[in-house]
Amino acid sequence: MNRLWCFNPIIIVLILFLVPGWVSAFDTKDSFNKDYIKAIEAYEKNNFDVAARLLPSFAEKGSPEALYCLARMYENGWGVNKNLSKAEDYYIRAAKLGNSLARNWLNNKYAAKQVTSIPKKEQTQPSNAVDCTHL
């Protein structure tokens, strides 16, 4: 029992099988981070063609920032065909994941809808209303 643990054949076999898995896991994560940074930088530099190519994969993986960027792009037609319904969907998904800019956009959008959704008949005075402006 005086053998060192590192010379145990079972430990050596486990290390040989597990270490390559660790390395590939770190490589994948590092690659993910580099591509994510590249996508966000493309958006911030108004390189919307690159952003439109890279952001959707991150949006599908649940990135609130990627969802927000795509929402802005679809709202304004930056690098993609303008699509307000798709933009709203991205804003909602980003807001649900905690993106405060998306939440702010939705708050403003819904506040504006409440003001503009009043039927025309309710905006005008009824015919039997008394004009009190001269008092």
Any idea where the domains of the chain sit in the sequence?
24-109
Residue 79 pLDDT grade (very low, low, confident, very high; cuts 50, 70, 90): very high
DSSP secondary structure letter of residue 126: P
Q: Could you read off the pLDDT of 46-74 as tens digits, one per residue?
A: 999 999 999 999 999 999 999 999 999 99
Q: Are 99 and 64 in contact (CB under 8 A)?
A: yes
Q: How far apart are CA 81 and CA 72, in angstroms?
A: 12
Instruction: Note if the pTM is more than 0.75.
Output: no
User: The tokens of 37 are what?
Assistant: 């940074």
Q: Please provide the average confidence, as pLDDT, over all residues in the chain.
A: 75
